Structure 1
């Protein structure tokens, strides 16, 4: 129904973006990697385009937004797997860059997927079984590079909370990830990935 939306960024949070398109605000649920791209674009001003996926349920229509075709392609492949809905697919996308998720699928690395909150061992194995043969088509343009950003501990903490962790657990995990970085400024996406290693 909607292929993409182009407008100015009215607001942006680690899991949600509002685009102002001709005076109408569209709220889109996004993976953390997309938030990174949107935040960088918002700082520069001007219009921004998000590819979209509309999930329709009996009592809810929900728009999901993606900065790249690879993110949307992987999301749409994940939601076709039995037992994985849009929210869980978004959790998987928010935990690691698309290239790493596709690598795990291609190599049969179910432990990598099982680290994501809410993804059980059987579900992780099902993802690999159903998507392994499609792996090469999920990321044809190669991995998307993420740009460096300002310190992002607060955004990373909010993202972990939105994934279901308590604020205290999220904050401690982010702090440990920052300590391991040794003062290096990490983009939100990488900080979340490293923090997730400390919450299981």
Structure 2
């Protein structure tokens, strides 16, 4: 249960991209905005400058579709994970914060691979691999692993980075073929770390 009394009727709301985990913006909600967000599954804030409820995207069409939420330990701050329908910032940037995007690109790449599986296109490398089947995909992971080891031992840093990137890409395709996402790997690694 959110405590709206501490902040004079408002709670800060952190908006995070559900796929990349990038923080997109910070806004405020009163109880009415929170209830509307829960009902419509679109994020609605209380605008302190307009002094009214404001659904993000009501003018631009760049809505924030709520996927999940969490309340902090003091019950006075909200974290909402969203699927953004376009840029989040009014400037046209994906985030209101000037942060590097590449730190979360693996999640975006996973999403691109999923999209290729769901909506295959003729010229897609992912689509061609998928049609060759799991044996070919697993073989590519093995080949890229060997090339990564060779690059680590005998080649330049740039070669090693390129081969490592190829390995991770093909591993992501293999994970998708097996219907396993990065979230499951992260959970497994976290569980193993606790032991």
TM-score, normalising length from structure 1?
0.25
Q: Which has the higher contact order (CA 8 A, sep 6+)?
A: 1
**Bigger CA radius of gyration:** 2
